[in-house]
Amino acid sequence: MSEHLPSLAALRAFEVSARLGNFSAAARELNVTPAAVAQQVRGLERDLAVPLAVRAGRGIDLTADGLALARDLSDGFTTIRQAVERIRGREALRPVSISTTPSFAAGWFMPRLPQFWADNPGLELALHPSAQNVDLTDGQHDLAIRFGGGRWAGLEAELLLSTSFVVCAAPELLQGWRPDRMEDLLDLPWFEEPGTHEQLVWLDAMGLPREKRRNVTQLPGNLLLSALREGQGVAASAMLFVEDDVKAGRLVKLWQDQTPGRGYYIVHRPGVLRPQVERVRRWLRRQV
């Protein structure tokens, strides 16, 4: 038995023609010309080496082979259609899953959630704060918001917002003191937010790894900012999270990194995004 199958387009053209009874109606459903439908059906007959349909006035009559094939194709396309509809329905109900760092989730995303709900009624969101870069190729997460230079192998990335990193403290702690070198900051009391991956990577690159900093205390983000404002220590942060405090004089920048091209990026698998994910991606872009 030959394993060769006729083209799906030819099988589809014949199934629709058999169901609707003429080439013109089939052409309207398939959005092609009647001549194109007739050509597909005749090509299918040549491929199978049997007649399937004969013209009868403005319609067609099916041969015995045509009737048998039309019945089996109808069942087959119904099964395909149902499988596709199940997947589409499941995907429409699945929340849009976004992986991001805890600091970005707390400092940027959470304050904008009310606006997200107002702009996207009925769209369910699943936010997954994680210090690690999750695998986006396994289909568990639709988008990630990552800090870096915009290059992650096998993934597409677009800049959401640029930001520099700063080390900051309250004026009450500093009493007018300023560091001459990054190393001068090592002896100060440090605060870290658990899971703040981007801050730790930046501090390591700046020569301030955790093992060299003598006093490190881990605090949740809201307590960390309060402790900073009260003059109890210093911390590294993306400038966008402390910009208002710096402008108001509650915090002072001790060091600032101006590496170009660094910031938070929207990252996803290559290819077309499902409609709900594309809505979220566009909404994120509109926020900056």
**Closest Cα to residue 44, out of 53, 57, 33, 31?**
53
Sequence-distant (6+) residues with CB within 8 A of 34 are 23, 24, 26, 27
**Position 26 pLDDT exceeds 90:** yes
The better pLDDT of the pair 262, 127 is held by: 127
Q: What is the pLDDT of residue 149?
A: 84
Q: For residue range 233-275, list pLDDT tens digits in order.
A: 988 888 888 888 999 999 999 888 877 778 899 999 998 888 8
Question: pLDDT > 90: what percent of the chain?
Answer: 47
Is pTM beyond 0.95? Reply is no
Q: What is the pLDDT of residue 188?
A: 84
Q: For residue range 205-242, list pLDDT tens digits in order.
A: 777 777 777 788 888 766 888 888 899 998 888 888 88
Domains delineated in the chain: 8-93 (1.10.10.10), 96-162+262-286 (3.40.190.10), 165-257 (3.40.190.10)
**Position 156 pLDDT exceeds 80:** yes
**Position 279 pLDDT exceeds 60:** yes
Quick one: 82 exposed, middle or buried, by C-beta within 10 A (0-12, 13-18, 19+)? exposed
H/E stretch holding 51 reads: none
Q: How far is CA 239 from CA 14, 70, 232, in A?
A: 63, 66, 19
Determine the angle formed by the axes of helices 239-248 and 221-229, rounding to 10 degrees. Answer: 30
Work out the pLDDT band at 23, boundaries 50, 70, 90: very high
d(CA 200, CA 210): 8
Q: What is the pLDDT of residue 15?
A: 94
Mean pLDDT of the chain: 87
The better pLDDT of the pair 40, 203 is held by: 40
Judge whether 167 and 185 are in contact, CB under 8 Å: yes
